[in-house]
Amino acid sequence: MTRKERKEKYKCSVEYTLSFIGGKWKPIILWHLGIEGTHRYGELKKKLNGINHKMLTQQLKELVEDGLVNRVEYPQIPPKVEYSMTDKGMQFIDILKLMHEWGNNN
């Protein structure tokens, strides 16, 4: 589905935005990558209390496909993969900071 088709699917811009970052895990993944910088898979898994391998892999794959996260695979043994934010993904940091502030205050 193209970005235009995806946008036309939703009647509200908030709904469209949530199609990128909705759910329990995506905002938390984006928070860690955006605030703390590049992480390897295992580092992210340790920070996300309660997430399983399948869910983390799926969420990262979707974030990469949506252009919010970069995935760099290094050709070595054992394999090394790093995840970082794209410029598009960094656009969500202000929203996530507001969510963080709200959570601290309430």
**Residue 85 CB burial class (10 angstroms; 0-12, 13-18, ≥19):** buried
Residue 105 pLDDT: 94
Residue 66 contacts by C-beta under 8 Å, 6 or more apart in sequence?
20
- pTM value is 0.87
Q: What are phi and psi of 29, to 5 degrees?
A: -60, -45
Total number of domains in the chain: 1
Q: The domain that contains 89 carries what CATH number?
A: 1.10.10.10
- Domain that residue 91 falls in: 3-105
Region class of 2: left (phi > 0), else alpha (psi between -120 and 50), else beta:
beta
Residues of the chain with pLDDT > 90: what percent?
Answer: 74
Q: What is the pLDDT of residues 18-59, one digit of tens each?
A: 888 888 999 999 999 999 999 999 999 999 999 999 999 999
